[in-house]
């Protein structure tokens, strides 16, 4: 939600953006397929991360490696989907990650998805899709400069680090998971904004964009740092369980990116104040879904543990 397509140029020579738009108009099927495959990759990666966290092992084994590979594949497919399709539609389809991950996680645990989990996932996805579809593109396209992209990355990193360092909920797995998942979602969302901002400059100027604005190289480095940080923070969040962590990441990612679009890139809401009300209702529904998923769920002989003091052992009478 950080960058919108520009209209075709009225001049005989079409701009790179206009040529890109022409490809998008004819690329609905490739975009849809890539977006769906991306959601599958992200969902499987999330389950692999949660299983690694639940095992208590450090994130260095085979499951962690699988999660890294799937995350990279998901990111690549997401980029392809954005290349050929509508940003709003692609972001909305990304919410399917939560819907796909729940049954996969349940199948590996040899259980059925609980009705409460479906209800929470449904509220989150419905609210998120409503929020995304209520936004409108700006009248004219504006790309952030390299310096602005770097500043945006720095502010996000500082806020996310502060969020992960808060003492609030330090010993409560659900609250801790929410803090780290929100930080991860913010990191992923801004990384997407940086990626799209860089793509705009490259489409317009090619590799010469880095020469014209060296800060774009710094922004590219920041993109990688945020992506890695988001991966690590999400791994920590999954120690509190799959549902609440993945729902929070899925919600925070486009929500943060959408704030950038509205505040910095001139995006608005369809129908003015009515669209704003619809967007707020969607955000509330999505937040309610996260709350539903955050309620403790009995696991089959397994608990998610987080660092903290152990309770004292009861005294044994002689």
Tokens 């962690």 correspond to 64
**By C-alpha distance, which of 82, 68, 90 is closest to 195?**
82
pLDDT single digits (tens) 7-53:
444 444 444 444 444 444 445 788 889 989 999 999 999 999 888 88
How large is the average pLDDT for residues 148-173? 84
Q: Residues 58-87: what's their mean pLDDT?
A: 81
Task: Say if residue 318's pLDDT is above 50.
Answer: no
Estimate to the nearest angstrom the gap between the alpha carbon of 50 and the chain centroid: 16
In the block, tokens 């705009």 appear at 200
Examine the pLDDT at 239 and tell me if it is beyond 50: yes
Least Cα distance to 307 among 168, 167, 164, 171 occurs for 171
Mean pLDDT of 230-240: 89
d(CA 148, CA 131) in angstroms, rounded, equals 26
Q: CB–CB of 138/266 below 8 Å?
A: yes
Predicted pLDDT of residue 102? 87
φ/ψ (deg, to 5) at 157: -60, -45
CA gap 204, 23 in Å, rounded: 16
Say if residue 282's pLDDT is above 70.
yes
Q: For residues 129 and 286, what is the distance between their CA atoms, to the nearest angstrom?
A: 9
* Residues facing residue 268 across a β-bridge: 136
Beta 268-269 vs 135-136: how paired, if at all? antiparallel
Residue 315 has pLDDT above 60, yes or no: no
Rg (the chain; Cα; Å): 21
Closest C-alpha among 244, 214, 256, 241 to residue 303: 241
- Three-state secondary structure along 226-265? HHHHHHHHHHHHHHHCHHHHHHHHHHHHHHHHHHHHHHHC
Give the Cα separation of 281 and 277 in Å (integer).
6
Two tokens at 221?
């480095």
Question: Looking at residues 159-176, what average pLDDT do you find?
Answer: 78
Dihedral over Cα of 111, 115, 119, 125: its sign: positive
> 4: pLDDT confidence band, cut at 50, 70 and 90?
very low
pLDDT score at 1: 53
What is the token pair recorded at 127?
Answer: 């609210």
Q: Within a 10 A sphere around the Cβ of 21, how many other Cβ atoms? A: 16
> Is it the case that residue 284 has pLDDT exceeding 80?
yes
Say whether 3 sits in a helix, a strand or coil: coil
User: Is a pLDDT exceeding 80 seen at residue 64?
Assistant: yes
User: 266: closest CA among 149, 142, 146, 88?
Assistant: 142
pTM higher than 0.85:
no
Report the residue count for the chain.
Answer: 318
72/55: higher pLDDT: 72
Lowest mean pLDDT among 54-58, 242-246, 278-282: 54-58
pLDDT at position 243, please? Answer: 83
Q: How far is CA 63 from CA 68, 96, 247, 280, 309, in A?
A: 9, 22, 21, 38, 28
Segments of the chain assigned E as strands: 135-136, 268-269
Residue 170 has pLDDT above 70, yes or no: no
Beta-bridged to residue 2, according to DSSP, are none
Q: pLDDT confidence of 171, banded at 50, 70, 90?
A: low
Given pLDDT bands bounded at 50, 70 and 90, which one contains residue 5? very low
pLDDT bin (cut points 50, 70, 90) of residue 262 is confident
* Residue 96 · residue 133 · CB < 8 Å: no
Q: Tell me the pLDDT band of 266, cut-offs 50, 70 and 90.
A: confident
Lowest-pLDDT choice from 128-137, 211-220, 263-272, 293-302: 293-302
User: Counting Cβ atoms within 10 Å, is residue 26 exposed (0-12), middle (13-18) or buried (19+)?
Assistant: exposed
């Amino acid at each position: 939600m950080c960058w919108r397509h520009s209209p075709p140029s009225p001049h005989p020579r079409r701009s790179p953006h206009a040529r890109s738009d022409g490809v998008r108009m004819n690329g609905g099927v490739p975009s849809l397929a890539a977006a769906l495959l991306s959601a599958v990759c992200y969902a499987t990666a999330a389950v692999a991360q949660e299983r690694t966290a639940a095992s208590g092992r450090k994130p260095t084994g085979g499951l962690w490696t699988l999660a890294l590979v799937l995350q990279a594949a998901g990111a690549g497919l997401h980029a392809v989907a954005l290349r050929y399709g509508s940003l709003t539609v692609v972001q909305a389809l990304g919410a399917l990650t939560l819907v796909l991950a729940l049954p996969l996680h349940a199948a590996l645990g040899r259980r059925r998805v609980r009705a409460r989990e479906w209800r929470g996932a449904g509220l989150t996805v419905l609210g998120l899709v409503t929020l995304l579809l209520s936004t409108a593109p700006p009248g004219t396209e504006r790309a952030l400069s390299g310096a602005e992209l770097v500043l945006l990355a720095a502010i996000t990193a500082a806020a996310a680090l502060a969020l992960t360092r808060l003492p609030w909920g330090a010993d409560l797995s659900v609250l801790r998971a929410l803090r780290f998942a929100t930080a991860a979602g913010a990191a992923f969302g801004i990384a997407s904004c940086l990626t799209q901002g860089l793509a705009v400059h490259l489409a317009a100027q090619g590799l010469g964009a880095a020469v014209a604005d060296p800060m774009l190289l710094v922004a590219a480095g920041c993109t990688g740092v945020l992506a890695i940080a988001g991966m690590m923070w999400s791994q920590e969040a999954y120690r509190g369980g799959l549902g609440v962590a993945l729902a929070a990441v899925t919600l925070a990612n486009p929500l943060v990116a959408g704030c950038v679009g509205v505040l910095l890139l001139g995006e608005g809401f369809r129908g003015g104040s009515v669209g704003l009300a619809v967007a707020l209702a969607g955000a509330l529904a999505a937040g309610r879904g996260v709350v539903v998923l955050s309620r403790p769920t009995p696991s089959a002989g397994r608990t998610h543990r987080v660092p903290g003091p152990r309770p004292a052992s009861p005294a044994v009478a002689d």
